[in-house]
Amino acid sequence: MSSDVQTATGGTSQPDMPLDPGGGGLRARLGPLMRWESGLVVLLLATVLMGSQLSSMFLESGNFFYIGINVGEFAIMALPLMLIVVTGEIDLSVTSQLELSGVVMGYLFAHGWPIAAAMVVAVCLGAVTGAFNGFLVTRLGLPSMIVTIGTLTLYEGIAQVILPNTAVGGFPAGLTKIGLVPIPHTEIPYSIGFFIIFAVITAVVLHKTPLGRSIYAIGTNREAAFFSGVHVKRIKMGLFITSGILSAFCGVLWSLRFASARYDMATGLELNVVVIVFFAGTAFSGGKGSVIGVVLAAAIFAGVQNALTLDLVPAQNQNIVIGSLLIASVLIPSVADVYRRTGQRLQDLARRRL
């Protein structure tokens, strides 16, 4: 499995497959099948099976729209976040940027702006908030873990100052229908349509351009990347800005979809984005992460959420499941590693005995 078998969708994303060189014959042959993404495919099938067991409505064609519509924005935001995590940083402020952008769009619209102009300003604002994150992280050298917790509160706070305790609605019906109807002649919700476009762009950039290689290089070895001429800070800055822009774009989608904007409309939902990113097999160390992983993880997430909703589990209680998914996805690689190392040690021991 070498890097030139890559496809545009990122089916085989890793520049260097983590095949252990000393591994035995069976493991080497199974190697490509043992990938995280293969696990996700199995899980996706399991989710579909579970969903159809829990509710007869799960597999109805009309339900596909509802499965998709609740995950679209999270999936879109997960794409840049995945890249940020690959470079060893994190952006927890995505949902706050979503809220701020939605609120600004609503505020401007309520003050007589044409909706198109309000949408453009809202999305541009995302570039500003993202750049501020990037500035704090790359120029001041602060840890993104805590900086984006700060901006998570700050951006939501600013949104609250702009629109305290009220929701703005009344957006043109032609636009708010994206929350009610799929793209004509399909079952695909608009947000998923956008996700597909962004996913393809991300996959091409990540797997087919020098920029994509650089992102993995930063994740694998930051120092080495820097000394081979990769603009580490500039790339990270760009990723934070991208994350801001896409989050703001999702803010526009979100507000139109719900036909209203409120400062706390996505409070606590950063968890969903983070879950998709880590469930996709993205890792801080070693520059691991692929677009196909994000697509699969988003599909599983959507399926689980929809099944739980059809099973009438309240949203707050679903957080136990979703949070556990996150914990599981960060634990499994470690457990697998311990297992592999123990196996190796036992093999070595056996060989020495012989």
The two tokens of residue 67 are 């499965």
CB neighbours of residue 73 within 10 Å: 29
Least distance from another protein to the Cβ atom of residue 241, Å:
18
Asked if residue 18 binds another protein (CB under 8 A), the reply is: no
Alpha carbon distance 324, 318 (integer Å): 10
Establish if 335 lies at the interface with another protein (CB under 8 A). Answer: yes
CB of 148 to another protein, least distance (A): 9
User: Is 86 near another protein (CB under 8 A)?
Assistant: no
* Using rule CB under 8 A, residue 314 touches another protein: yes
Beta carbon of residue 142, minimum distance to another protein (angstroms, whole number): 6
Number of residues lying near another protein (CB under 8 A) = 50
Min CB(287)–another protein separation in Å: 14
Please tell me whether residue 150 binds another protein under the rule CB under 8 A. Answer: yes
Output the 3-class SS for the chain.
CCHHHCCCCCCCCCCCCCCCCCCCHHHHHHHHHHCHHHHHHHHHHHHHHHHHHHCCCCCCHHHHHHHHHCCHHHHHHHHHHHHHHHCCCCCCCHHHHHHHHHHHHHHHHHCCCCHHHHHHHHHHHHHHHHHHHHHHHHHCCCCHHHHHHHHHHHHHHHHHHHCCCCCEECCCHHHHHHHCCCCCCCCCCHHHHHHHHHHHHHHHHHHHCHHHHHHHHHHHCHHHHHHCCCCHHHHHHHHHHHHHHHHHHHHHHHHHHHCEECCCCCCCCHHHHHHHHHHCCCECCCCECCHHHHHHHHHHHHHHHHHHHHCCCCHHHHHHHHHHHHHHHHHHHHHHHHHHHHHHHHHHHHHHHC
**Could you say whether residue 143 binds another protein (CB under 8 A)?**
yes
Can you tell me which of 1, 42, 46, 146 binds another protein, judged by CB under 8 A? 146
Q: Pick the closer one to another protein by CB: 184 or 314.
A: 314
22 touching another protein, by CB under 8 A: no
Told to check if 330 binds another protein by CB under 8 A, we report yes
Which of 91, 156, 215, 244 contacts another protein by CB under 8 A? 156
Q: Which of 32, 170, 210, 323 binds another protein (CB under 8 A)?
A: 323
165 binds another protein (CB under 8 A): yes
- Amino acid, res. 310: L
Site for another protein contains 160 (CB under 8 A): yes
Query: Of the two residues 203 and 294, which places its CB atom closer to another protein in the complex?
Result: 294
Residue from 98, 108, 119, 152 in contact with another protein (CB under 8 A): 152
* Least CB distance to another protein at residue 335 (A): 7
Residues 243-272 that bind another protein (CB under 8 A): 268, 270-271
Inter-residue contact 123 to 101 (CB < 8 Å):
yes
How far apart are CB 145 and another protein at their closest, in Å? 4
Q: Does 140 bind another protein (CB under 8 A)?
A: yes
Nearest approach, Cβ of 223 to another protein (angstroms)? Answer: 15
Tokens standing for residue 225: 């990347």
Return residues touching another protein (CB under 8 A).
90, 92, 136, 140-143, 145-147, 149-158, 160-161, 164-165, 268, 270-271, 274-275, 278, 283-285, 314, 316-324, 326-327, 330-331, 333-335
